[in-house]
Chains A and B, each alone.
Chain A
Amino acid sequence: MIRALFIILFFCVFSPLQLHAEPLTFDLVQDHVEITSSFSGMPLVVFGSVNAKGDLAVILEGPVKNSTVRRKERIMGAWINRGWARFEGVPSYYDFAMNVEEGAPPLLRDDIALEKHLGFAFLNEAVHGKRHKGEALQAFRAALLRNKQERDLYPLASQNIQFISPELFRVDFDLPSNIPSGQYKVRVMLIRGGGVVYEQVKEFSIGLEGVSANIYKFAQGYSFLYGVLCVFIACIFGWLSGVIVRRN
């Protein structure tokens, strides 16, 4: 919170001076997010100042992965995975904010929105799907989006950008407990006339910390020893349990 106040103070004092330097500048309250054993989601706050005319869009994107989408079909009465499609370059986490109201015309031209990953309707199209079967790829695309939204990895609608003063803005993203770890990107774009006139990018990391991180690293790096450790602990508890039974 102290850091947040500092950032606000910084922007209050310095933003008029930057008038001729950059039309837009921003920072994050946290430069990394730690997933500890008590992690159950947390807010991510973006602060910034803008001193040029235009609309704003803020995009938060997680590490890129490939996704396999499977569709169940009825086979002998049972619902069984049958058709599938693989999508490449899918952000594992995605959220965005715009300073436009619902129902307003889109900020960017369709092709630019696609390229800049603004809005999940366009993100959906930006996904490069490989067609493995004759099925309509569109159904698989829509399902991938739905699936991500259900798991809170993609938003249902864009977030709001709050203006504290005409220049100062703030966006509150809400990170869920199941957020994938990795390198994240925040992009803030200044948009005029359907095109991006200025864009700034900041990266931050989300990673396991403390005990969780050590367990994860140990399980990945020394998987045999990790397995043996699990068995050893189980044996100790089993033995203890046996001893307690006999005492009683």
Chain B
Amino acid sequence: MQIYLPIAEMAVSVEAVLFLSACVGLLSGIFGVGGGFLTTPFLIFMGIPPVNAVATQASQLVASSVAGALAHFQRGNVDFKMGLVMMGGGLIGSFIGIFIFKLLSFIGQIDLAISLLYIVLLGSIGSLMLLESGFASFFKKQEKVSKAFNNTNLSPFILKLPYKMRFPRSKLYISVLVPGGIGFVGGLLASILGIGGGFLIVPAMIYILGMPPLLVAGTALFQVIFTTASATIMHAMVNHTVDIVLALILIIGGVIGTQIGVGFSRFFKGQYARIILAMIILSVCIKLGMDLFITPDELFSSVDVK
């Protein structure tokens, strides 16, 4: 069934988009990753303009991060104070990201920027996951929250930063610039790439911030809600590129896929699952790289402006 997207101004096949978002939802159900980094490139492969794909995907991520954060909240695994500080940085990041996006569109380099960023991010994450099975620890929450304020693992540079604040839940006494900065990068990525950036934020929270791994996923998801929500609203206001019809199909497909994925995840052995996910990430990266480096059939592209 074809449906007309009023904002992207084109017709797409509902089944194709549902299938795509259900597949990504399946992956996020199994692996506990957001999956924005897969949906956006696939929407672009399907012929949806990158500007619409990025902006609309941001709204789909609001749904998936709300669902994820709720689950962690009920187990009490969210550090709200930390999440709010990260959110502050995230909101500034998403705001600046929108204008970088607008500027890149204006000079005609947005497609290149999206491709390059994806190649770098997916390439490094995918190969890291393949090489290091220890990456598993990022997604698991095994360690207990220790009693004492734990600043021992942090680098001296981070300890010297000003504006220190106590985070009782995480047992940290640290400069707000660090979580704020991590949130800022997440916000930039949400606006420019239409991803939550979990695969970057989560390792940063563990290694740079030294947060207890138990609290990392819930806190990251909590702040992703706000950065993706802000990116959605900003894209809607500045670029008019959020397509609510496309967003609805993506969200519904994602919900269905996640349910199936959560059921599947019991039968998956962690190690093999991660290798499969790494393969998928790397093949998307290779496809994007080939598009960039192989001589295209048509060297020219055109856009109509009013």
Identify 17 residue pairs between A and B in the complex whose beta-carbon atoms are under 8 Å apart, listed by A's number: A37-B6, A38-B2, A38-B4, A40-B4, A65-B304, A67-B305, A69-B300, A78-B293, A80-B109, A81-B111, A219-B242, A226-B236, A231-B229, A234-B229, A234-B247, A238-B66, A239-B67
Q: How large is the interface on B (under 10, 10 to 19, 20 to 34, 35 or more residues)?
A: 35 or more
Among B120-128, B190-198, B251-259, the stretch that binds chain A is B251-259
Which residues of B lie under 8 Å from residue A40 when comparing CB positions?
2, 4, 11
CB atoms of B4 and A39 under 8 A apart: yes
Instruction: Assess whether B242 is in contact with A230, with CB atoms less than 8 Å apart.
Output: yes
**Bound: A178/B296 CA distance, A:** 23
Question: Told that A35-B4, A226-B244, A234-B62 touch, could you supply 17 new A-B pairs with CB distance under 8 A?
Answer: A74-B295, A78-B112, A79-B295, A143-B302, A147-B302, A178-B10, A223-B236, A227-B233, A230-B59, A230-B232, A230-B233, A234-B232, A238-B65, A239-B67, A239-B70, A244-B259, A245-B262
Closest to A37 in B: B4
Query: Does A240 belong to the interface (CB within 8 Å)?
Result: yes
Are A237 and B237 touching (Cβ within 8 A)?
no
Does any Cβ of A come within 8 Å of B71's Cβ?
Answer: yes
Number of inter-chain CB pairs below 8 Å: 196
Chain B residues in 8 Å Cβ range of A208: 6
B interface footprint on A204-248 (CB within 8 Å = 1, 0 otherwise): 000010011101100110011011111101110111111011101
Among residues of A, the one whose C-beta sits closest to the C-beta of B65 is A238
When C-beta atoms are compared, the residue in chain A nearest to B70 turns out to be A242
CA distance A12 to B248 in the complex (A): 51
The smallest beta-carbon distance between B107 and chain A, in angstroms, is 9
CB distance from A177 to the nearest CB of B (A): 4
Q: Is the CB of A68 within 8 A of B64?
A: no
| The 3 A-B residue pairs with the shortest CB-CB distance in the complex, in nearest-first order | A238-B66, A227-B236, A143-B300
> Does A162 sit within 8 A of B, measured CB to CB?
no
Given contacts A180-B9, A242-B66, contact A220 B302 (CB under 8 A): no
**Within residues 38 to 74 of chain B, which ones have a CB less than 8 A from any CB in chain A?**
59-60, 62-68, 70-71, 74
B142 at the interface (CB under 8 A from A): no
| Residue B274 at the chain A interface, CB threshold 8 Å | no
User: A39 touching B292 by the CB < 8 A rule?
Assistant: no
Interface presence of B16 (CB below 8 A): no
Q: How far is the CA of A79 from the CA of B298 in the complex (A)?
A: 11
Contact in complex: B240, A220 (CB < 8 Å): yes
CB distance from B243 to the nearest CB of A (A): 8
Out of A67, A231, A241, name the residue touching B258 (CB < 8 Å). Answer: A241
In the assembly, what is the distance between CA of A53 and CA of B294, in Å? 55
Q: Report Cα–Cα, A196/B54, bound state, in Å.
A: 49
Q: Which of B64-112 contact A (CB under 8 A)?
A: 64-68, 70-71, 74, 108-109, 111-112
Question: Which residues of A have CB within 8 Å of B65?
Answer: 238
Q: Chain B contacts of A35 at CB under 8 A?
A: 4
Residue pair B63, A234 in contact (C-beta under 8 Å): yes
Residues of B within 8 A of A73 (CB): 299
A122: interface (CB < 8 Å): no
Q: Which of A144, A219, A237 contacts B255 (CB 8 A)?
A: A237
In the complex, A84 has a CB within 8 A of chain B: yes
**Complex Cα spacing A6 to B265, Å:** 64
A44-68 vs B, Cβ < 8 Å mask (1 yes, 0 no): 0000000000000000000001111
* In the complex, B303 has a CB within 8 A of chain A: yes
CB of A79 within 8 A of CB of B60, answer no
Answer yes or no: A130 CB below 8 A from chain B CBs. no
Does A71 lie within 8 Å of B66, measured CB to CB? no
Q: Are B302's CB and A144's CB within 8 A?
A: yes
Rounded to whole angstroms, the CA-CA distance of A215 and B3 in the bound complex is 14
Let me know if A24 is at the binding interface, CB within 8 A: no
B270 lies within 8 A of chain A by Cβ? no
Q: In whole angstroms, what is the CA distance A169 to B302 when docked? A: 36
* Cβ contact within 8 Å between B232 and A69: no
B168 beta carbon closer than 8 Å to chain A? no
Interface flag for B153 (CB, 8 Å): no
Residues of the B chain whose Cβ atoms lie less than 8 Å from the Cβ of A178: 9-11
- Closest residue of chain A to B235 (Cβ to Cβ) is A227
Cβ–Cβ contact A245 & B67, under 8 A: yes
Are A245 and B259 in contact (CB-based, < 8 A)? yes
Complex interface: chain B residues within 8 A of A146 (CB): 298, 300
